[in-house]
Structures are given as C-alpha cells and as structure tokens.
C-alpha cells in the first residue's frame, strides 16, 4: 500500500494537470456517492414548475416540477454508472479481441484486425447513432451502443501490447515450460500489458460520458424523467428555453467538468505509465 501511496504522491506532485483532473473526478464521484444521502428530496418528488432558485430549491425546478439539484446529483450517479458500464464493455470486448488477435497471429489476426479497421473507419458517434436507431431509443441500448463503438480502440492498443510483450523472455520461458496458450496469455502476457489499458480506460470514461450525453441530446436517450441523466437533463432544458436556461448551463457545465477531469487524469497517467516520458 505504501508503495502505491508513494507512487500516487509523486505522480500528483509532478503532474499538476492530473492533480486537477483527480480533484474534479473525485468531486463528481463523491457527489454521486454521498450526495443522495445529504439531499432532502427524491428525484421524482414533484413541486411547482420552474420554481425560482432559493433556499427551498437551490437550482430551482424544471418544466416537470422536479428539483434540479436533486436530479443533477442523482444524475451524477447514473451518468458515471452508465459511462463505467459502457467503458467496461468496450474494455473487456476490445481487450479480448486484441489479445486473441495479437497472440494467435496469422489468419485470425488478419481477420480480426480488418474487422477492427472497418469499425474504426466510421466516426464512432455515427455508428452509435445507427446502433441506437436500430435497437430503439432506450438507455440500455445506448450503453450497449457506446460500449460496442469504443471496443476497437482497446483492441488495437491491446494487440500492440501483446505483440510487444509476447516476444519477451519470460513469455518464451513460460512457453518452453509447456504452458498452454490461454495460460500464457492470461497469466503472463495480459498482466504485463495493463498500463495502456488503464490509460485508455480513463480517457474512455470521458468519451463515453460525451457519447451518452450526445445521443440523449439527439433524442435517442429514452425516458428522461424516470432515470435522471445529465445528457437528458440538458436536452430537456434545451427544449424549454428560455425558461430553463439555468438547467442547460448547469447540466452542460457538469458534463464539461467531468469529461475534462477524466481527460486530464488520463493524460497524466499516460505520461506516468509510459516508460519514455516517465519522470524519475
């Protein structure tokens, strides 16, 4: 543990942008975890519509009479959860494809990588839009679509890592001891290819939040009231301008700050974990 704290301390000290990113991300995570406990309302408690900001409603209420602050706080929870789930999906699927492709080589590699090439030749957001349009505008479909679209990036990165690590001496040693391919891959190759995945995962959180919010903004997000989500809150506010100007500003700012946080943190991690740029 102390090795990790030492590392963290050094990391944050030398990477000021990453420090800012960490603080932002921690603030959002803390809001999502602790916020609902502190708040006095539930997200679907109904008050008068477009109530003024004041002591009763810090950020006022929206067109449906819901307390905006409450929905933003619960929204942090759903937004983070959605991003985490879809990013994890990208990560697992992408890593699996990349690892198999890099480790197996030959025709499997060729086939998988051309598939990834095709997927990457489309703008990801466009592909996600098509997927949601086909599957239907529901939040679970949005998660699946964003998850699928993010997978090729991971596949590429993991394949490159596996190729690099695969020729290392300890892998050859494992092979020469007679370990099967799956044991070699998952016990010796993958653990040593983790650092770029961590970086991509952090950056992926940011882009997943943006994609989900973007899809919601285009009306592909599903029921905006039952599940408060920042993109949906933003969309609703946009439809109700100028009455809901504050709502647009608050939701937009929340998305901006969170995505910025994840990106700064991811950038810092990239510098730290890359042996070429690492400070000593």
User: CA of 160: how far to CAs of 97, 196, 204, in Å?
Assistant: 12, 10, 18
Least spacing, CB of residue 182 vs other proteins, in Å: 43
Closest to 61 in 3D by CA, of 45, 73, 77, 76: 45
Nearer to other proteins, 32 or 132 (CB): 132
**Could you give phi then psi for residue 8, rounded to 5 degrees?**
-60, -45
Minimum separation from the CB atom of position 93 to other proteins (A): 29
Nearest to 147 by CA among 126, 114, 124, 123: 124
C-beta of 67: minimal distance to other proteins in Å? Answer: 13
Task: Please identify, using beta-carbon distances, which residue of 117 and 239 lies nearer to other proteins.
Answer: 239
The distance of closest approach from Cβ of residue 63 to other proteins in the complex, given in angstroms and rounded to an integer, is 6
- What minimum distance in Å lies between the beta carbon of 121 and other proteins? 23
Closer CB to other proteins, residue 64 or residue 88?
64
Instruction: Kindly tell me which of 202 and 236 has the beta carbon lying closer to other proteins.
Output: 236
* Nearest to other proteins of 166, 221 (CB atom): 221
Closest C-alpha among 202, 201, 211 to residue 158: 201
Residues that bind other proteins (CB under 8 A): 44, 46, 49, 63-65, 137, 219, 223-226, 236, 239
Q: DSSP character for 52?
A: P
Beta carbons of 166 and 189 less than 8 angstroms apart? yes
Is residue 272 within 8 Å of residue 16, measured between CB atoms?
no
């Amino acid at each position: 543990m102390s090795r990790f704290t030492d590392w963290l301390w050094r990391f944050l000290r030398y990477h000021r942008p990453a420090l800012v990113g960490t603080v932002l991300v921690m603030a959002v995570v803390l809001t999502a975890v602790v916020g609902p406990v502190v708040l006095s309302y539930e997200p679907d408690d109904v008050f008068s519509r477009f109530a003024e900001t004041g002591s009763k409603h810090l950020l006022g209420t929206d067109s449906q009479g819901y307390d905006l602050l409450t929905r933003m706080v619960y929204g942090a929870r759903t937004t983070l959860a959605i991003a985490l789930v879809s990013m994890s999906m990208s990560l697992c699927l992408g890593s699996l494809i990349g690892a198999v492709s890099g480790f197996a080589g030959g025709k499997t590699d060729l086939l998988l990588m051309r598939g990834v090439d095709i997927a990457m030749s489309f703008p990801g957001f466009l592909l996600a839009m098509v997927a949601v349009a086909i599957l239907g505008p529901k939040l679970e479909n949005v998660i699946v679509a964003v998850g699928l679209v993010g997978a090729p990036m991971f596949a590429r990165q993991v394949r490159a890592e596996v190729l690099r690590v695969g020729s290392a001496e300890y892998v050859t040693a494992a092979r020469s001891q007679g370990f099967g391919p799956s044991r070699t891959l998952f016990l010796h190759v993958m653990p040593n290819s983790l650092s770029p995945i961590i970086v991509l995962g952090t950056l992926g959180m940011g882009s997943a939040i943006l994609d989900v919010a973007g899809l919601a903004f285009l009306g592909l997000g599903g029921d905006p009231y039952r599940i408060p989500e920042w993109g949906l809150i933003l969309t609703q506010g946009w439809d109700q301008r100028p009455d809901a100007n504050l709502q647009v500003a608050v939701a937009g700012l929340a998305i901006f700050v969170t995505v910025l946080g994840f990106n700064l943190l991811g950038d810092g991690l990239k510098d730290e974990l890359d042996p070429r740029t690492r400070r000593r």
